[in-house]
Structure 1
Amino acid sequence: MKTLVVGAGRLGTQIAQVLAAAHNDVTLVDIDDDRVAGLEGRLPVRLLAGDACEPAFLEHAGILTADLVIATTGADEDNLVISLLAKRRFAVPRVAARVNEVENTWLFDENWGVDTAVPAATPLISLIEEATGATDTVALLRLSKAGVDVIETAITPQSRAAGRTLADIVLPAGTVVATVVREGQPTVPTPGMRLRPGDELLLVSHAATEREIHAAFQ
């Protein structure tokens, strides 16, 4: 699935990381050049800086062949414009948009090109599930096209994995750590990364259950 994620804040980068880990073709864009530059080499996605409210930039970002557009900026007006352009001008099959202000929820409908409106407080996995149209949830999410589960776990001071490196953790067969979110920033995991309380991990697995993942880290 070819996906264009607009907004490289915490939510947008996590969505991009999870979808890329499930072998989707992901492009992540943001208007802030410095933010995009700071993510170079940290995410397995195509990164672009520019204004996604401009049709010419959206074309440059590959929207003409996108299967899914997810607008996750912190400005509702931008998310609405991006959704409208995606659906009405570029005929993107599926468009999801984040609603930052509750009072604006009524605007996020088919009139603005939004297939799925997701409140800002919605958990990450639920947002991805809504955006991708996946309905066969196992653990936190099953990306049906990829045939994998995405399972989330958090490291606390009481976790057995706290203070240990990823290389020290015995994972179930067919399971990889897709990203470690530390202090709000997604990080490409390495075997030598030492886990800290507060770290949030997203794992991709073909077979492991949520219980098995919990046992490995908690």
Structure 2
Amino acid sequence: MRALIAGAGRLGTQIAQVLAAARNDVTLLDIDEDHIAKLEGHLPVRLLAGDACEPTFLEHAGALTADLVIAATGNDEDNLVISLLAKRQFTVPRVAARVNDAENAWLFDQNWGVDTAVPAATPLISLIEEATGATDTVALLRLSKAGVDVIETAITPQSRAASCTLAEIPLPAGAVIATVIRDGQPTVPAPEMRLQPGDELLVVSHAATEQEIHTAFQ
């Protein structure tokens, strides 16, 4: 699947990381050139700086061949414009948009090209399930024909993995840590990295269950 994500904030980067880990072709866009530059080397996706509300930039980013567009900026007006362009001008099959202000939710419908409107408070996994139409999962995200699962877990002060390095955590067979999200930024998971309360991890698994992954960290 070819996915185009507009908005490289915390939500956009998390979605990009999950979709990329599940072997999708992902392009992440943001209007802030400096922010995009900081993400270089930290995400296994194509990164582009520019205004996703501009048709020429969306076309350059690959909207003509995208299977999915997710408008995940922090501005509802921008998300509506991006959705409308994606659906009407580029005929993208599936368009999802983040609703930042609940009072604007009524606008996010087919008239603006939105197939799926997602409230800002929606959990990451649920958001991606709704956006991609992968409704056959609850806590696990199954987006790959190869059977790759992406499991999300968070470190709390009570977690057994708190203060441990990644190398010290015995992961189940077939599980790999795709990224550690700290302070809203995805981080390359080096073995010597020490986990802290508040860290969020995305674990890619070919065989381990959700319970086995959570047991390793919690």
TM-score interval, smaller chain: over 0.9
In the TM superposition, residue 175 of structure 1 has moved relative to its aligned partner by: 1.1
Question: Which region of structure 1 is more displaced relative to structure 2, 72-81 or 207-216?
Answer: 207-216
In the TM superposition, residue 41 of structure 1 has moved relative to its aligned partner by: 0.7
In 2, Cα distance between equivalents of 1:145 and 1:61: 25
Aligned to 1:203: 203
Q: How many positions carry a matched residue from both structures?
A: 218
Aligned to 1:12: 12
Aligned to 2:55: 55
Preserved contact between residue 23 and residue 146 of structure 1 (Cα < 8 Å):
no
Whether 1:189 aligns to 2:189 is yes
In 2, Cα distance between equivalents of 1:138 and 1:208: 16
Whether 1:131 aligns to 2:123 is no
In the TM superposition, residue 103 of structure 1 has moved relative to its aligned partner by: 0.9
In 1, Cα distance between equivalents of 2:66 and 2:179: 24
Aligned to 2:21: 21
Q: CA offsets per residue over residues 174-198 of structure 1, 9 Å max, x none?
A: 1111111111111121112111111
Aligned to 2:106: 106
Preserved contact between residue 10 and residue 184 of structure 1 (Cα < 8 Å):
yes
In 2, Cα distance between equivalents of 1:53 and 1:153: 33
In 2, Cα distance between equivalents of 1:201 and 1:144: 19
In 2, Cα distance between equivalents of 1:172 and 1:50: 41
TM-score for the superposition, normalised by structure 1:
0.96
RMSD: 1.2
TM-score for the superposition, normalised by structure 2:
0.96
Three-state SS of the structure 2 residue aligned to 1:167 is: helix
Preserved contact between residue 21 and residue 150 of structure 2 (Cα < 8 Å):
no
Cα distance, 1:33–1:146 mapped onto 2, change above 3 Å: farther
Three-state SS of the structure 1 residue aligned to 2:198 is: coil
In 2, Cα distance between equivalents of 1:156 and 1:113: 39
Q: Structure 2: where are the runs of 5+ without partners? A: none
In the TM superposition, residue 145 of structure 1 has moved relative to its aligned partner by: 4.2
Output aligned runs, 1:115-194, within 5 Å. 115-143=115-143, 145=145, 147-194=147-194
Preserved contact between residue 139 and residue 149 of structure 1 (Cα < 8 Å):
no
In 2, Cα distance between equivalents of 1:31 and 1:107: 23
Three-state SS of the structure 2 residue aligned to 1:91 is: coil
Report percent identity of matched pairs. 84
Task: State the AA in 1 paired with 2:173.
Answer: A
Three-state SS of the structure 1 residue aligned to 2:149 is: strand
